[in-house]
Structure 1
């Protein structure tokens, strides 16, 4: 009697890992195709147009996604990754306060303007999942700015309770103003909008800092919290 040998767990796991990696690679390729299709056809792009851009039948597309909602969710996740990368100035502050503000505002407005169709797709087509994903990014950015505010205000001996409302208000304001401009961009140029948003953001930030006992110079390098602590110790 001949007994068939079962594959060893290691070999089985190896095949499973390779298959999972290949499936993930194909999903990324399809998401790339979807982003290109959205850019070309707008936020109302059809699944067939996405499949055409990927060069595969629509049925093959759904071998890698459980349905339209799954595809939309994957697209939303990719967009969020892009936004997080683009907002590096927020995660890694450096330079003068004015340079940091301008870089962050310019990055946000530019991304929104140059990827409007993709943004609208995430918000409108992907439904609650897309809205939640974009909301999560705004919360993450706001939370990070609030943490920076709180850290600096604490070192200055000021009222740290202003940190969170100031940060969330700032992010919400810039985002809402940019969205409104996208609806009617003829009233002012992108550069004019950026300039105004930078000025208004500086007013909020400098006022919040000043009331917390921290005077900021817009054109001088922002000192680290360690440097601020050292200065207070020397006094």
Structure 2
């Protein structure tokens, strides 16, 4: 016997679409409430505190998330979105080498300092999803810097093999040093930390570049790779 499939009326499809949109909107609202609760209560915030901040019973909160792990993953995803936006100086470097370094370092340290509880939540409470998401951001930042560094070293006729380890080492160093400072903020001010990190970052970058034949002036406009290639061709 052949069974005919009933077509779904367009009106019903429309209701399903609207419901999906409302559900996604509510999830985002709950994540917003969770970020505020984390800031208020710290990284070990309870689900009840998040529900209280959202103004709903805890049972209603879990109608939109498949348990605590799903909620933590959604929070981590939103935080990573914010981090990517905040790191615009890394994706779009401009100015002199020293200005680029300082802006990137200062932005990173400022975000970590001003969102310490959220950072700790993502890394320690957000489970595998949180740690993995933050790791992916560091890999993306490192890869972006490595590609930029490699392009400049190649344009100057230098050895490009140093680009990747230098970039990954630099990002890991700045991130680890900032994390350590968050645990012991009384040892030095944020500004003192930024100044040290900028100086150390410059030493690593300038030394790596110099050994590959690329001399950088920290306070002069960074020439484009095309300009570097032209300079190298006339030598």
TM over 0.5: yes
CA distance in 1, matches of 2:224, 2:114: 34
CA distance in 1, matches of 2:105, 2:35: 24
Normalised to the residue count of structure 2, the TM-score between the two structures is: 0.94
Taking only aligned residues, the RMSD between alpha carbons, in angstroms, comes to 1.4
Runs (5+) with no aligned partner, structure 1: none
| Alignment correspondent of 1:145 | 145
- Taking the TM superposition and a 5 Å limit, the aligned residue runs for 1:43-192 are 43-192=43-192
| Alignment correspondent of 1:32 | 32
CA distance in 2, matches of 1:234, 1:13: 67
Per-residue CA distance 1:72-115 (angstroms, 9 max, x = gap): 00100111111111110110111111001000000111111111
Could you tell me how far 1:13 is from its partner in structure 2? Answer: 3.1
Contact 2:157–2:232 (Cα < 8 Å) also in 1: no
| Alignment correspondent of 2:11 | 11
How many equivalent residue pairs? 230
Compared with structure 1, are the counterparts of its residues 53 and 233 closer, same or farther at alpha carbon in structure 2 (3 Å cutoff)? same
CA distance in 2, matches of 1:46, 1:157: 56
Normalised to the residue count of structure 1, the TM-score between the two structures is: 0.94
CA distance in 1, matches of 2:212, 2:126: 42
Could you tell me how far 1:224 is from its partner in structure 2? Answer: 1.7
Matched, 1:193 2:184: no
Runs (5+) with no aligned partner, structure 2: 1-5
